[in-house]
Amino acid sequence: MKRHHALPIETARSRVDELFEAFRHRFAASSRWKGDTLYLSGRDFEARAVLTPTELDIDVDLGLRASLFKSVIRSGIESELEKRFGPPGGLHEASTRRTDRPRAENEASSDLERRHEEAPETRTT
């Protein structure tokens, strides 16, 4: 899911944190920022939120059990996006590069992200 924004990057970053706070508690998820990308991982799902000065791109990979609730999860994220980033004028269709494929097909992509997570963090402001 993509959302355009015109917020200062630190404000947008704070709102992304708020957006995923419920997921951290509800699904015993852990999260960490690496640069301007938030990685979130919990029971039966992984998510990544990439923040740029003009856009937020959220990619969620659901496991088998969580995929049964895909529409509920998507609606919840969209609702929270609207609260924090305004109406969905900039919202695009969800990316299908990972969300509509079984978890096994995403292992190579997940391995790449894990290697990225293990790399030293570099952030320029």
In the chain, what are the domain boundaries? 2-118
Q: Is 86 left (phi over 0), alpha (psi -120 to 50) or beta?
A: left
pLDDT tens by residue, 32-69: 999 999 999 988 889 999 999 999 999 999 999 888 88
pLDDT tens by residue, 1-39: 899 899 999 999 999 998 888 778 877 889 999 999 999
Sign of CA dihedral 114, 112, 4, 96: negative
Which residue type occupies 6?
A
Q: Which of 85, 99, 74, 97 is nearest to 4 (CA)?
A: 85
Matching CATH number, 2-118, of 1.10.443, 3.40.50, 1.10.3910, 3.30.310: 3.30.310
